[in-house]
Copies of this chain bind each other. A is one copy, B any other.
Amino acid sequence: MNKKERTENSAECIKGMQAINDTMQLLSGKWKFKIVGALMKHGKLRFMDLLREVDGIAAKMLSKELHELEINLLVSRTIMNTKPVTVEYELTKHGQTLERVINEIEAWGLAHRKLIIQPMKK
């Protein structure tokens, strides 16, 4: 490997680390994955639906997390012209691209449970 290749390789490394940071920052915390998961499974959901669907979350946290997801263009927020007003939350097209990531994380978790957690109990 010559100097140019090493420099490029190092740059790739840093870029990759940065990319991992980007993703994890958007999805860090106790609730983001669960909210995205709920929206992935049900499509559109209103605030109160999410409050019921995401087990254990408080209104404050739901509100805060939805804001952050909206700012990052992963979730859209639509105020409906109903009485009383309802608000629909939905994954954006960009938000839907998280499916592959979430599937991998889920698959690894299942495998880990089979390989490590279950055998430990016996």
Contact = CB atoms under 8 A, between A and B. Distances in A.
B98 A108 contact: yes
A57 to B, nearest CB: 13
* Secondary structure class of chain A's binding surface, majority of residues: helix
Interface in A9-39: 13, 15-24, 26, 28, 33-34, 37
Give the size category of A's interface with B: 35 or more
Contact of A20 (B18, B21, B33): B33
Given A104-B104, A108-B101, A33 B24 contact: yes
Contact of A19 (B24, B101, B109): B109
Interface stretch (A44-52, A61-69, A79-87, A110-118): A110-118
